[in-house]
Chain A
Amino acid sequence: MRQLFIVAVFFFLSAAVVGADETVLEIDINGMTCPFCVYSLERELGRLSEVKQVLISLRSSKARLTLKEGAHIDADTLREVVLEAGFTPGEVRDVSEGS
């Protein structure tokens, strides 16, 4: 029973550590209009090898990127992708837990 408890605690802590390593970035994007136009932006951001998940907010005019474990991406690279997709990038923020 004690061993089981220790194993459970180990897995819990491991999961917490993995979660803590996850970097989440947000970038403001101007010029986003309808879903058909924004689709390409979501796809282009998702093609970045460092990116695990992309979420777009048309309401707030921004994108949220969850990076792969241990991955880093600089703000200029993100802005370049947004520009290439035809939109105007703004501020990039690190919104990871604990940042």
Chain B
Amino acid sequence: MRSHRAFTWLVALVCLVGDAAHAGGLRSLVALPLEPGGIVARLQVVAASSPDNMTVTGTVLYGLTTRQTLIFSVPYRDLERGDDGFGYLTGLYRRTVYQHDEPNATRRVAVIGGLRVPTDSDLDPQISAGLVATVYRQRSEWDFDIVWMEALGRSGNNARYDVSWQYRLTPSEYPEWGIPTEWQSVIELGGRYAEGTEMVHQLTVGALWVHPSWVLETGIIQDLNGPDTTSFLLGIRKHF
């Protein structure tokens, strides 16, 4: 029972990290484009000191068309109690339903939906559905997401929301020609809900180093109301 509860917490707190990986925040989903045939892979490690655990999440995005993207992710958790293993295998479909582009700015909205298959027999598969939005202007990017995960059985439902603000620290102005690398600060507010427990709101503060084909990311996740956990995040993304 205790192991099940720990797993549920982990699902609620950590397993949902990095369902999408493109440019964008540390934990939020994003509605920016991925070219047809394009692949983005992300590896993200989240380590918490209390309770002592570490989760490694692998994510792959594949661009189907300009407006359609497939997202696959799976976390591997390493708990202090020895309850190790994979979490939900997630397969999501993202479709851009609104796009308004301007010079150095964009507003996009996408719907996402898919299936989450547990690797733990105590849990049921879940159907996911939600909305993602991205607003980019000047040096700031805002990402919003809200997702409901309905369990196809007796295990509880899950939900999440995120609001992320990324601000380009350097360069303050882009060069006339060429794609530069840049540093971005990130601040995010997110919520992770597992049925039967109170929603845990989390604040994430971090930084991104953005290269044209690589992103390195780091951050600190602080629970605002839950079990007072601080987690540390480290990740890498590669655009193939």
Contact A59 B102 (CB under 8 A): no
Contact B180 A35 (CB under 8 A): yes
Q: Mark A73-85, 1 if CB is under 8 A from B, else 0.
A: 0000000000111
Complex: how many Å from CA A59 to CA B239?
22
Contact A57 B239 (CB under 8 A): no
Closest 7 CB pairs of A and B: A86-B33, A31-B101, A30-B101, A88-B101, A61-B103, A39-B212, A36-B23
Q: What's the interface size class on B, roughly?
A: 35 or more
Contact B181 A35 (CB under 8 A): yes
Q: Looking at the complex, which one of A28, A36, A59, A88 makes contact with B212 (CB distance below 8 Å)?
A: A36
Residue B35 is within 8 A (CB to CB) of chain A in the complex: yes
Contact A39 B32 (CB under 8 A): no
Q: List 7 A-B contacts (CB under 8 A).
A: A30-B101, A30-B102, A31-B106, A33-B32, A35-B182, A40-B35, A59-B173
Complex: how many Å from CA A64 to CA B33?
21
**Closest approach, in angstroms, between the C-beta of A48 and any C-beta of chain B?**
14
Contacts of B210 in A (CB 8 A): 34-36
Given contacts A31-B105, A38-B212, A87-B101, contact A57 B23 (CB under 8 A): no
Contact A84 B212 (CB under 8 A): no
Residues from 36 to 82 in B contacting A, C-beta threshold 8 Å: 36, 38, 66-67
A residues engaging B (CB < 8 A)? 28, 30-44, 55-61, 64, 83-88
Given contacts A33-B32, A34-B210, A57-B177, contact A40 B38 (CB under 8 A): yes
Complex: how many Å from CA A88 to CA B99?
9
Contact B99 A31 (CB under 8 A): yes
Contacts of A41 in B (CB 8 A): 35
12 additional contacts, CB 8 Å, given A36-B210, A87-B33? A34-B23, A34-B136, A34-B141, A35-B180, A36-B22, A38-B179, A41-B35, A43-B35, A58-B179, A58-B180, A85-B66, A86-B66
Residue B121 is within 8 A (CB to CB) of chain A in the complex: no
Complex: how many Å from CA A61 to CA B138?
12
Complex: how many Å from CA A25 to CA B175?
19
Contacts of B35 in A (CB 8 A): 40-41, 43-44, 84-86
Please name the residue on chain A nearest to B30 by beta carbon.
Answer: A37
Q: Looking at the complex, which one of A28, A40, A61, A88 makes contact with B239 (CB distance below 8 Å)?
A: A40
Given contacts A40-B239, A42-B212, A88-B101, contact A56 B176 (CB under 8 A): no
Contacts of A28 in B (CB 8 A): 103
Please name the residue on chain B nearest to A41 by beta carbon.
Answer: B35
Contact A35 B212 (CB under 8 A): yes
Contact A35 B179 (CB under 8 A): yes
Complex: how many Å from CA A83 to CA B99?
12
